[in-house]
Amino acid sequence: MAEDKSHKTAANRIAKKLGTTAQTEGPDIKTQKITIEVETPGGMQEGIRQLQGSRGPVYLAGTNKKAVQEAVDATQNTTIGVMDNQGNILKESTRKR
């Protein structure tokens, strides 16, 4: 249950930073420019699957340092970018709009 709280907190924080709100369906955060899936440790493959149908730049955001490191490892050699739980981009998405 604690994981859900950290997920929700991170999703809401990043969404607010981008001037939008977190979604309950599909990817956690979607703006006209980017799509973000927030994941807790161990959830990266699910996050990558969630982003597969999205157009434009996509990001996996980790809820903590462990999740961020897992995201960096899981997205090597992919077009998926990585953010921390503050919405700071650590790995740029190379997917075009």
- Averaged pLDDT for residues 40-62: 95
- Rounded CA-CA distance 36/52 in Å is 11
Amino acid at 40: T
Distances in Å between the Cα of 38 and the Cα atoms of 21, 63, 83 are 13, 7, 9
- Which tokens hold the place of 50? 């969630």
Say yes or no to pLDDT of 25 above 90: no
Contact 66, 84 (CB under 8 A): no
pLDDT attached to residue 4 = 85
